[in-house]
Amino acid sequence: MSRLRTLLLLALLGSTGAAQAVNGWTGSFVITQLYISGAENFHVRVSGFPAISACTTGPTWAYINQSQSGSKEYIAALMIAYASGKPVNIYWQPDASGYCQIIEMIS
């Protein structure tokens, strides 16, 4: 029975690989630019990570909109990281228009 559980777990982990190719972590990088725009016009845009091919419209930047849950906390953490030159790691996913949307981050 233990072998069967192991095989099922491996199959489950293998099936999530495709999702990770579409969404994922940028890897640790230092923010090179913050662009602040209108509340729902890609409100805070973060640059500094290598191009992401899954984000076809804006492959070299990711954004967070003001209406996103926790946006104030993300924006504060992004500004502190940018000002201090501290590396961040951002989890992104492409939106319907092909831009990278920030979902989570580690600073």
Q: Where are the domains of the chain?
A: 24-106
Could you tell me whether strands 99-106 and 44-47 are parallel, antiparallel, or unpaired per DSSP bridges?
unpaired
SS3 sequence, 47-58? ECCCCCCCCCCE
pLDDT, one tens digit for every residue, the chain (107 residues): 555 444 333 343 343 333 333 479 999 999 999 999 988 889 999 999 888 988 998 889 999 999 999 999 999 999 999 999 999 999 999 999 999 999 999 98
C-alpha 8/C-alpha 80 separation (Å) is: 43
Could you tell me whether strands 89-94 and 58-64 are parallel, antiparallel, or unpaired per DSSP bridges?
unpaired
Contact by Cβ (8 Å): 73, 35: no
Task: Please tell me the class of the 24-106 domain.
Answer: mainly beta
H helices present in 1-107, as ranges = 2-15, 17-22, 71-84
Task: Supply the pTM of this predicted model.
Answer: 0.73
- Phi/psi for 70 (5° steps) reads 75, 15
